[in-house]
């Protein structure tokens, strides 16, 4: 069987733990309220903005490529073969 001091110690530890959990719970509740308010404002702002209709995508005019005038092919002169000596 546990002594009175041990039980008293465990009781004190449990109270400390409970106090800490309650503090965290309070902070979490406040945070939830803050986030819910922000969500409500965001939804209201979203509804207030008129939605723009998307215009049908316009076809881009394809620019015709300018055709460069073709160069005339001229016959290249061949080098004369070296003359053979007799």
> Using one digit for the tens of pLDDT, what is the confidence trace for 50-85?
667 777 777 777 677 777 777 776 766 677 777 777
33 located within any domain: yes
76 located within any domain: no
Range of the domain at 42: 23-49
- The model's pLDDT over 20-45, given as tens digits with 9 standing for 90+, comes to 999 999 999 999 999 999 999 999 98
6 located within any domain: no
73 located within any domain: no
CA angle 74-75-79, nearest 5°? 135
- The structural domain count of the chain equals 1
43 located within any domain: yes
Q: What percent of the chain has pLDDT over 70?
A: 81
pTM > 0.75: no
C-alpha 20/C-alpha 17 separation (Å) is 5
38 located within any domain: yes
17 located within any domain: no
């Amino acid at each position: 069987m546990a002594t009175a001091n041990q039980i008293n110690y465990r009781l004190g530890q449990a109270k400390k733990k409970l106090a800490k959990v309650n503090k965290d719970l309070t902070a979490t509740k406040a945070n939830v309220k803050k986030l819910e308010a922000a969500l409500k404002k965001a939804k209201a702002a979203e509804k207030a903005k008129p939605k723009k209709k998307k215009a049908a995508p316009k076809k881009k005019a394809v620019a015709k490529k300018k055709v460069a005038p073709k160069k005339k092919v001229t016959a290249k002169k061949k080098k004369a073969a070296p003359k053979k000596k007799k």
